[in-house]
Amino acid sequence: NAGVTQTPKFQVLKTGQSMTLQCAQDMNHNSMYWYRQDPGMGLRLIYYSASEGTTDKGEVPNGYNVSRLNKREFSLRLESAAPSQTSVYFCASSEIRDRKAFFGQGTRLTVV
Amino acid sequence: GENVEQHPSTLSVQEGDSAVIKCTYSDSASNYFPWYKQELGKGPQLIIDIRSNVGEKKDQRIAVTLNKTAKHFSLHITETQPEDSAVYFCAATFGWAGSYQLTFGKGTKLSVIP
């Protein structure tokens, strides 16, 4: 099993450009999450999807949108990238009952 | 919302010694506490977790203890090895039945010196 797969692994954007980060899981999990990781800040929740068809804001949602395309896929969109969005982005999924969250390998995004 | 404090931010130990990382949480409703290990360039990997109805859990060289009254929990690694060198994150969950959001500590960089 691949687990949680994120694409792309690396991306450089210019300020104002848009892009979508893709995430897919093959564990049949109901819940999916997007986090960002910045030096010294730990991981902070951007958006989450408790189940297919629902999405909710996390701690730091400004500047982002999400789409739960189906049970497997959860995408994160930056409509107009800003240098403050330079970060490593992680997608995760979990099952409601046992709450164990599994993470992808991350997308390293640089906005110049 | 939940707030998780993690200490220390860096920890160096000699190979074979024990390492202890401590976390405190603020929301008394939190009831699930996982620990993650993150190696350079990789995503966090779940290494052990504990639920609020248990005081201690062990898995080979790794153990986690939970004190609900004091709202703190700790990771203990015994007989450390160089491959234990990584950044470790504690987390606590709060939320409703539909989804459990993890709130993370800021991480501890563990270095095991051969």
pLDDT for B98: 53
CA distance A96 to chain B (A): 6
| Mode of pairing for the β-strands spanning B72-77 and B62-67 | antiparallel
On chain A, the residues whose CB falls within 8 A of the CB of B9 are 40
pLDDT for B28: 87
Give the chain A residue whose CA is nearest to the CA of B40.
A105
pLDDT for B97: 52
CB contact under 8 A, A101 and B46: yes
Report yes or no: A103 and B47 within 8 Å, Cβ to Cβ: no
pLDDT for A5: 97
Above 70 in pLDDT, residue B99?
no
On chain A, the residues whose CB falls within 8 A of the CB of B6 are 42
Segment B93-112 shows an average pLDDT of: 81
Mean pLDDT of chain B: 92
Q: Please list the ranges in chain A whose pLDDT falls under 50.
A: none
Q: What is the pLDDT of residues B31-53, one digit of tens each?
A: 899 999 999 999 999 999 998 88
- What is the signed CA dihedral for B59, B76, B46, B100, rounded to 10 degrees? 110
Above 60 in pLDDT, residue B96?
no
Cα separation, A35 vs A70, whole angstroms: 19
Q: Which residue has the higher pLDDT, B94 or B89?
A: B89
Q: 3-state DSSP call for residue B42?
A: coil
Q: Cα A20–A60–A78 angle (5° rounding)?
A: 20
